């Protein structure tokens, strides 16, 4: 994931969320320190990108910002972000999670 980010390839939000969380799950099952190292790097990348992917009422699918997804369309993003927040205690992820929850409860209409 870090290589993808460094090379400015597709930076897709759901891939970042699911990949990073599952690295921790893998680490918990196996104790493989490489997974923990990748998890920590993945959290850093996600924290770096999440503000650029978040907008009022939803998120962009990727950093190319060519596709908007409302929180109502993909509530699993919030569940995965909550899972990551609980794993890390990251203030950045908590602030984003709170905003996403608010936007989900009070949808925006254009």
Mean pLDDT of 52-69: 86
Provide the residue ranges of all domains of the chain, joining segments of one domain with +.
Answer: 2-105
Q: Which of 69, 66, 57 is nearest to 103 (CA)?
A: 57
What is the per-residue pLDDT across 65-86, written as a single tens digit (0 to 9) for each? 888 888 888 888 999 999 999 9
pTM flag (> 0.75): yes
Would you state the structure tokens that stand for residue 77, as one six-digit string?
Answer: 């993003």
Q: Which of 12, 2, 6 is nearest to 63 (CA)?
A: 12
- Cβ distance 98 to 61 under 8 Å? no
């Amino acid at each position: 994931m870090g290589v993808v980010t460094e090379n400015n390839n597709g930076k897709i939000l759901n891939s970042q969320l699911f990949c990073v969380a599952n690295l921790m799950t893998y680490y918990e099952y196996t104790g493989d320190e490489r997974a923990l190292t990748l998890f920590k790097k993945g959290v850093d990348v996600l924290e770096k990108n999440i503000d650029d992917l978040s907008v009022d009422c939803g998120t962009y699918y990727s950093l190319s910002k060519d596709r908007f997804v409302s929180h109502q369309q993909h509530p699993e993003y919030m569940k995965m972000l909550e899972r990551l927040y609980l794993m890390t205690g990251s203030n950045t992820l908590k602030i984003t999670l709170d905003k996403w929850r608010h936007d989900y409860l009070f949808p925006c209409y254009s």
